[in-house]
Each structure stands twice: as structure tokens, then as C-alpha cells.
Amino acid sequence: MVDSANAFTIDQRAALTAKLDSFDIETSTQIQIYTTTNLQGYDIVDFAQRLGEGWGVGKEGFDNGIVIVYLPKTDSTNGEVTIQTGYGIEPLIPDATCKRIIEHEMIPCFKKDSVYEGFKRAVDVCISLTKGDFKADDYGNNSIGGFWGWVLDHLVLSLVLGMVGVWIVIILVIIIIAKCTSGGGGSYYIGTSGSSSGSSHRSHSGGSHRSYGGGHFGGGGARGRW
Amino acid sequence: MKTKGCLIAVVAVVLIGIFSVVVWYIKTGNKIVRLDEGVAESWAQVENVYQRRADLIPNLVATVKGYAEHEKTALTDVVEARAKASSVNVNPEKLDAQSLQQFEQAQGNLSSALSRLLVVVERYPDLKANQNFSELQAQLEGTENRIAVERRKFNEVAREYNTYIRQFPASIVANSRGFEKKAYFEAQAGSEKAPEVKF
């Protein structure tokens, strides 16, 4: 989780990071959120794919990484968002499903300026799809059935949320230890695009020190604008 | 006695020399084979994603036909370009400039036929609202991204191979065993960025 665009409050950042970390530990599937105001000249989809490949989001061999890149809307430019799936995620969350997540969960929230809500919903959907609670085809078609679908969704959600409190405590402890023992964290680049961009990206990383496992990305996923 | 000792020493040195050259030759040859395999694997991925696009087309054409029947030219163009693109076979052992160019041209024709069709489709709001069609367009867009990514990855792997086989002294091994330079995909305008498909 890197929030260069300052799209989240500190609490929101911690909550999302905790959610992603616990999911990573539980299932080894890694979801990387990256918000930025500068795509360094890349197309957003290209940017996200290179980021996933360059950092190796997901586990080597499983390629089970997901990268979500968010570019906030400004007065003169559209907001953009993309979900890129690792090779291993492609069958679980096909492109059309990525598109639906973006259009049904994220953009409606982004239009109301609740960026966090949009991300939370998208992440919840990604988590439930990759967990195999229900198949990607079911999502958005409501074929899972009104009432029971609702119960299932909220059961999953509440289980995930139940973990969050525990993880917040653990992560706070990690942050405190990291703050006390070392000066600075690592810097992030995309591929070999230079060294000057490191400092601006470092400042808001969510305090997480997860290691990436060498997942690969083939360009699957979707994009959206608003 | 003294000359005999010298002779043994010289023979030993020569033998060690020959032995290490042979070992180096084998090792270098194996590394080239490994890199060559990497290029072939990458090429398979490239074909894979282009095939993925070809597989989407029948469904796309059928969906568009249901709403825009009189756009015959645009539709047949796509179908024909697809057939042509599928008929181009590239030998993965021999990825030279000529065969790559043929492949590029056939796939490029299909790309432009597809984008013409998608421009035509703009005039049919009912089609654009169709759930099946919007899924297809998402898949198509994702596939175009995949094509861009796999082309780039292929170029990276091919570059690594080419650099290795052309550097001295590995070039000696490459020449003697008949390993040839691989061609690259040209970075066409718009291939670095995923083509902006407007629906």
C-alpha cells in the first residue's frame, strides 16, 4: 500500500493495510494499492503492470498478485483507476469482472469523493473472488440470489473485519519497532526508471513491511475513468 | 631425465588447457540453449495472447451482427483478417526478421479491421448497452494490454539472447553451432501504450 496521492486518512490507510496484510498471510495472495498523482509518462494500465512485475507482487510460481493504481481526478484531468491481475489471478477475476468492479464498486464511490469506500468495496470483492467463496461469474449478475447472497457477502465481510482489529495492533507494534530501530525504509521505483522518484513515494507507505514474492503480470485486468 | 620431466609438464598443461576449453565450450553452448529456450517460451506466450484475441472474435462478430446487421463490410473485414492472421505460421526455432514481419503484418491488419468495426459500433446504442457486448469489450481491451505486455517481454528476452550470442567469446560457440540472431517486435506507435479503444 503506497498512498503518494494522499487519498486516504491515516486511519483508513491503516485499516486497508491491515486488511491486505491479513489476507496476504491467510492466502498468500497479495493486493498492492498504489495512489499517485504522477504516472511518470506511462499509461495507467502499463504503469500498473510494470509496477506489479517490477515489485513481484504475488508469490513466485502462483503469480497471485493484484495491483490497483489510482490517479485522482483534478480540475483539468479525469480520474483514472486500473486493476491489474497477475497470471494466476486471471482465471479467478477475468477482465470483464475487473471492469464490473471498477464500474459498480469504485467509480460510484469515487464520484462521491469517498475514495476509501470505493477501495474497501473493491478489495472485499477481490478477496472474496480469490478466496473462492463464489465464482467470478456470479459477481455482478446477482445469480447467487438476493437474500442468501447478501448474507454470504456480509458473513465474509464480517469475518474479514473481525481480523482487522487484531492486525491493527500487530502492525502498530511493527511500526513502533521499525521506527525505533531503523532510520528509513526502502525506496520504490518502477523498473529502472531512475532514482529521483524514490523519496516522494516513500513518505506515505502504509507502514507495512511485507515482502513480495516474485509474481508475474501479463496485462490482464481493466481500467476505468470518471 | 630433465627433458622428459619438462615434456610431461608441457603435455599436462596442454591437456588441462584443452580440457578447460572443452568445458567452457560445453557450458557456453548450454547457456545459449537455455536462452534460446527462453525466447521460444516467450514467443509461445506472444502467440498465446494473439490467439486469445482471435478466439474472442467469433463471439464479438455474432454479437455485433445481432444489432448491426447491415455493417457487412466491417464485419467481413474482421472475419477475413482473422482467418489470414491465423494462417500465418512462424517457426519458433527461426524467429528472423522476415517471419516476424509477416506475422506483424497479418496481426496488424486484424487490429485495424477490429478498430474499424468498433468505430462503426458507436452508432448502435442498443448494442453498447448489451451486457454480453460490454463483457467482450472489456476482454478485448484486456487482451490488447496482454499483447503489448507479451511483446515487450519477448523483446527483453530476445535482447538478452542476442547480446549474449554476439559477444566475444560466446559468439564463437554461437557461430559454430548455428545460433542466429532473433528479430524484435518493432515498437509501433501505440504498441507501447495499449491502444485506446473507444466504445
- Grid coordinates representing B175 are 557461430
Nearest to B150 among A43, A96, A218 (CB): A218
Contact B149 A217 (CB under 8 A): yes
Please state which of the four CATH numbers 1.10.3720.10, 3.40.50.300, 1.10.287.70, 1.20.1440.20 is assigned to the domain occupying B32-176. Answer: 1.20.1440.20
3-state helix, strand, coil in chain B (%, to 5): 80, 0, 20
Contact B194 A222 (CB under 8 A): no
What is the distance between the alpha carbons of residues B79 and B70, in angstroms, rounded to a whole number?
15
Distances (CA, A) of A111 to A107, B82, B167: 6, 40, 56
What is the distance between the alpha carbons of residues B110 and B113, in angstroms, rounded to a whole number?
5
Note the pLDDT tens digit of each residue in A14-29: 999 999 998 888 888 8
Q: How many domains does chain A have?
A: 1
Contact A219 B150 (CB under 8 A): yes
Chain A residues touching B146 at Cβ < 8 A = 218-220
Note the pLDDT tens digit of each residue in B129-187: 888 888 898 999 999 999 999 999 999 999 999 999 998 888 988 988 889 899 998 86
CA atoms within 13 A on the CB side of B58: 4
Q: Is the ipTM of this complex over 0.85?
A: no
Q: Is B45 on the interface with A (CB under 8 A)?
A: yes
Average pLDDT over residues B6-11: 86
User: How far does B150 lie from chain A, in Å, by closest CA?
Assistant: 7
pLDDT at position A137, please? 54
SS3 A83: strand
pLDDT at position A142, please? 47
What is the distance between the alpha carbons of residues A38 and A193, in angstroms, rounded to a whole number?
13
Arithmetic mean of pLDDT over chain B: 86
Task: State which H helix or E strand residue B59 sits in.
Answer: helix B2-67
- Grid coordinates representing B190 are 501505440
Amino acid in the structure at residue B159: R
Looking up cell 487490429 gives B111
Looking up cell 448494442 gives B127
SS3 A119: helix
Chain A residues touching B192 at Cβ < 8 A = 46
What is the distance between the alpha carbons of residues A196 and A135, in angstroms, rounded to a whole number?
43
Looking up cell 455485433 gives B64
User: How far does A57 lie from chain B, in Å, by closest CA?
Assistant: 16
Q: For residue A93, what is the domain's CATH number?
A: 3.10.310.50
Contact B194 A221 (CB under 8 A): no
Give pLDDT tens digits along chain A (226 positions).
Answer: 899 888 899 999 999 999 999 888 888 889 999 999 988 888 999 999 999 999 999 888 888 899 999 999 988 889 999 999 999 898 889 999 999 999 999 999 999 989 999 999 999 999 988 886 544 555 555 444 456 656 666 666 655 555 666 667 677 777 777 776 665 444 444 444 333 333 334 334 444 445 677 888 988 888 888 8
Q: Which of residues 59-98 of A touch B (CB under 8 A)?
A: 94-96, 98
pLDDT at position A32, please? 92
- pLDDT reading at B48 higher than 50: yes
CB neighbour list of residue A137: distance below 8 Å, 6 or more residues apart: A143
Q: What is the DSSP string of B11-36?
A: HHHHHHHHHHHHHHHHHHHHHHHHHH
Q: Is B49 on the interface with A (CB under 8 A)?
A: yes
What ranges do the domains of chain B cover? 32-176
Q: Is A99 on the interface with B (CB under 8 A)?
A: yes
Nearest to B138 among A46, A49, A95 (CB): A95
pLDDT at position A24, please? 86
SS3 B171: helix
Q: Is B195 on the interface with A (CB under 8 A)?
A: no
Residue A28's domain comprises 2-213+220-225
Q: Is A136 on the interface with B (CB under 8 A)?
A: no
Chain B residues touching A223 at Cβ < 8 A = 141
Angle of CA points B131, B134, B137, to nearest 5°: 150
Chain A residues touching B134 at Cβ < 8 A = 96, 99
SS3 A224: strand
Note the pLDDT tens digit of each residue in B83-117: 999 888 888 888 888 888 889 999 999 999 999 99
pLDDT at position A221, please? 87
Return the number of CB contacts < 8 Å for A and B: 52
Chain A residues touching B63 at Cβ < 8 A = none
Q: Is B56 on the interface with A (CB under 8 A)?
A: no
Strand partners, A205: A2
B150 touches B45 (CB < 8 A): yes
Chain B residues touching A95 at Cβ < 8 A = 138-139, 141-143
Note the pLDDT tens digit of each residue in B76-86: 999 999 999 98
Contact B193 A46 (CB under 8 A): yes
Distances (CA, A) of A204 to A17, A113, A178: 12, 20, 15
This prediction's pTM = 0.74
Contact A46 B134 (CB under 8 A): no
**Chain B residue whose CA is closest to A49:** B149
A38 touches A190 (CB < 8 A): no
Distances (CA, A) of A220 to A67, A217, B3, B69, B176: 11, 7, 73, 31, 41
What own/partner pairs with CB < 8 Å and gap ≥ 24 does B1-4 have? none
Contact A219 B148 (CB under 8 A): yes
Q: Is A205 on the interface with B (CB under 8 A)?
A: no
